[in-house]
Structure 1
Amino acid sequence: MSEKRYLFKKKLIKSLYFGGTLSSADLSAIAQKNIQITSKAINELVDEGSVLAAGYAHSTGGRCPQLFSLKPGLMYVVAVAMDQLTTRISLLNMENNFVGEVRELDFILSNQSTLINELAGHLNQFILDSGIPKSKIAGIGIGMPGFVDSEKGINHSFLKVQEGSIVSILEKITKLPVSIDNDSSLIALAEFKIGAAQGKQNVMVVNIGWGIGLGMILNEKLYRGNDGLAGELSHIPLFTNDKICTCGKMGCLETETSLLVVVEKAMRGLSEGKPSILKNLNPENVEEAAELILNAAIQGDTFAVELISEAGYNIGRGIAILVHILNPKTIILSGRGSIGGKLWTTPIQQALNEHCIPKIAENLNTEISTLGSLAELYGAAALVMEHYDEVHPKTKTRNTLIQINN
């Protein structure tokens, strides 16, 4: 089989992954190939056992079109979601269902290049424990915070390397294709592919976590910017509070709105005698503390609600800047903190009402993600499949580890 033919069939598999059940006409339009070429390739995939005939679509007249879907168990993706404190590793099938449990590691991100080898070891062990042969894994997708250049496979903030890239090192050790991207970009990708941003043209996806990330869907495409570094909402200089941000600057949006800041304010308030159902927040376990605060707010605890409302209002001030510049249709609140649900939308809307020109914001909708803390894992899986039909720029063999006929 020629490489061109091989990659075209992989493109069809990719299209079925994202589209679910599709007809030859649907696939022809997506692949921008004529129906005869597409139908022949699809029938070959059926004969090879990669694709199944999935019944017929409804028709208002004429012959009902045959539908196709991927064979269950065809292959899997390893999805990794990293933040400054923990790393989660998961396995997903082609229906975006989790296979087995999500593994959580106390893996603290830093600039130590030796951590890449440690991460590779965890990935290899996870795959071994899953019982799935590497020949059936399409690749590894990794989301991480920081200034990530997904094209070069490097992170300018964490896991810096002297030679090669994060991607090249991990590919060498795991013997699998690896793709990395910024965590907020992947959260936006997940929302666009399977979440609240499906079918929408201009969407801002706000990632509420240890920072305030941003992923942008512009004209139905994920916008990464010139160097892949777009979306650093956290570092808009919005305050004159003399607080040093993690980026080294002062007064960034993050310094008054991140969940880390919410935890700090909660512990300070409790030490000053603020009445609350919150007790004994552990500064050594900020993940648990943040979850406790959000749950207390959901239960109506006045102090916890005040903390979320203050952070939400300030996030809204940051979003107001985006609204004036980009005029989006929808704002989606996603990520770890989105479990707070509507507790965020009221203060954010208040800020938008106060700081936006009414005409610009009159058709703006604010929604809560249904993917929650799993969004980054879904996005990491989608990242793998976005690259599934590409050729590696150096070796010309990217993703050829997966054979079409299993």
Structure 2
Amino acid sequence: MLNNFKIDNETKSGQCKKGILNYFVANGNSTIQELAKEVNLSVPTVTKALGELLNVGYINEYGKQETGEGRHPTLYGLNPDSGYFVGVEIKEGFVNLGMINFRGDLVDIENDKPCRIDNTMESIEELCELVKQFIDKSGVNKDKVLNVLFSIAGRVNAKSGYSHTIYNFTEQPLTTLFSEKLNYPTSIENDTRAYAFGEYMVGNVNGERDVLFVNASWGLGLGIIINGELYTGRSGFAGEIGHMHLYNNEILCHCGKKGCLETEASGRALYRIVKERIKAGESSSLTQTKGNDFTLEDIIDAVNAEDPLCIDVVERIGYAIGETVANLINVFNPELVVIGGILARTGIFLQQAVNASVRKYTLNLVNKDTRLCLSKLNERGGIIGACLLARKIVLG
């Protein structure tokens, strides 16, 4: 039997309870008086809702608040053991899995689990078996697993439950298929949006509400947060900046078109260009340590070891990404732009090139109010974001 979060969002009482739970998510423990003020409800209404949430186990009492004088009010907060949320980040040939409790603490994480990722039922079955094993290994009460969210690259419509890039061989929504295989409520989301949400919740965001997140991994994606909410677009496909047509090259993008930004500014482009330049006779420490059999991760390591060729290519890619970021800043006028993904592991080499390009191409009056930084979560951001987004979906 599929687990359910038993709060009716259609009633005023249910809306009040979810408002209280979401307040705890954002702010931590609180008193009844503070809650009543923040959620704009009367103290009796909040007291009644808190009592019902205590009875079903979603919140706990956490002692008395220290005050200078008078009565010490009781602190309330989320019960971490009342529910669990699983994130599954689908990559090329492997998956990352994570689990958080109701309070948002990371319970378990497993990275780089090999998994065949192709457009077949066998691949889905293998993936679901890994998820089951992960949940079993965690030792948590399975009845308390409230949602499993799959983070998938490409065009994903989270509302309809369909992925249009992979696992799209059946007319049945992918979320329905996953739920049947796992016997848990499931959700799907685009990988960059999940990453962006993780960064927004626990990363480099310091109160900003309008945030752009650039995911510079094998591909290039954009997560858009407007007034604290993920923007998905009409069909859930917003943020496909990697497929903006910007070049007159003859390089075929994996989307099937030529001239996409990704062909010159992405992890895939970095790997191809380094390979081409070494083949053309340029020297690199990579050939001494790895021969011709190196990976994208090896190139990142070579950049950080100050390999001149690899640094040059990363800086060129950073400059190209910076041009696009400049255009985005001119359009969105955001408070914050975060660069994440595997290319962000090159640190200052990428950031300086992006910054230089942004300074050159943005309007000064727009640029001055935008902070630009690298991801604080690094590559863990995707799986952490998937877990946190699973909780957000349940809490509404």
Q: Is this a same-fold pair by TM over 0.5?
A: yes
The aligned counterpart of 1:311 is 317
SS in structure 1 of the partner of residue 81 of structure 2: coil
Structure 2 Cα separation of the partners of residues 229 and 2 of structure 1: 30
1:354 aligned onto 2:375: no
Q: Name 2:53's counterpart in structure 1.
A: 45
CA change 1:2–1:206 in 2 (3 A) is: closer
Do 1:238 and 1:318's aligned partners in 2 also have CA atoms closer than 8 Å? no
Cα RMSD (Å) of the superposition? 2.6
Distance 1:111 1:266 in 2: 30
Q: Could you tell me which amino acid in structure 1 is paired with residue 29 of structure 2?
A: T
**8 Å contact 1:56–1:64 — kept in the other structure?**
yes
Alpha-carbon deviation of 1:62?
7.0
Counterpart residue number, 2:305: 299
Q: CA separation of 1:15/1:360 partners in 2, compared to 1, >3 Å: closer, same or farther?
A: closer
Q: Which residue of 1 aligns with 2:134?
A: 126
Partner amino acid for 1:251? G
Letter matched to residue 383 of structure 2? L
Inter-partner Cα distance in structure 2 for 1:77 and 1:22: 23
Structure 1 residues 61 and 276: CA distance shift in structure 2, 3 A: farther
* Separation in structure 1 between the aligned mates of residue 150 and residue 286 of structure 2, nearest angstrom: 34
Match of 1:290 among 282, 296, 321: 296
Tell me the equivalent position of 1:389: 395
Structure 1 counterpart of 2:230, which letter?
L
Gaps of 5+ in 1: 391-406
Structure-2 change in CA distance of 1:43 and 1:344 (3 Å): same
Q: TM-score, normalised by structure 2?
A: 0.88
How many residues end up aligned between the 2 structures?
387
Alignment of 1:2-17 (within 5 A): 3=8, 4=11, 5=13, 9=17, 12-17=20-25
Whether contact under 8 Å (1:334, 1:368) holds in the other structure is: yes
State the partner residue of 1:243.
251
One-letter amino acid of the structure 2 residue matched with residue 183 of structure 1: D
Q: Note the 1:229-378 alignment, pairs <5 A.
A: 229-279=237-287, 281=290, 289-378=295-384
* 1:311 aligned partner, one-letter code: I
Contact 1:50–1:70 under 8 Å retained in 2? yes
1:147: how far off?
Answer: 0.6
CA drift at 1:11: 5.2
User: Cα offset for 1:256?
Assistant: 0.7
* 1:110 matched to 2:118: yes
Of 179, 182, 187, the match for 1:171: 179
Residues 218 and 110 of structure 1: CA distance in aligned 2, closer, same or farther (over 3 Å):
same
Match of 2:388, SS state, is helix
Tell me, yes or no, if the aligned pair for 2:116 and 2:123 is still in contact at 8 Å.
Answer: no
- Tell me the secondary structure at the aligned position of residue 246 of structure 1: coil
**Quick check: 1:144–1:183 contact (8 Å CA) kept in 2?**
yes
- Equivalents in 1 of 2:226, 2:264: separation in Å? 28
After TM superposition, give the deviation of residue 242 of structure 1 in Å.
Answer: 1.5
Deviates more, 1:70-79 or 1:326-335: 70-79
Deviates more, 1:157-166 or 1:101-110: 101-110
Corresponding residue for 1:402? Answer: none
Give the drift of 1:371. 0.6
Q: Deviations over 1:81-125 (max 9, x none)?
A: 112332111222234343344143333433334432332222222
Does the 8 Å contact 2:158/2:188 carry over to 1? yes
**What is the 5 A alignment of 1:216-227?**
216-227=224-235
CA distance in 2, matches of 1:369, 1:79: 19
| 1:36 to 2:44 alignment | yes
Task: Give the TM-score of the pair, scaled to structure 1.
Answer: 0.86
Q: 1:153 to 1:348 in 2, by over 3 A?
A: same
Tell me how far 1:236 sits from its aligned partner: 1.2
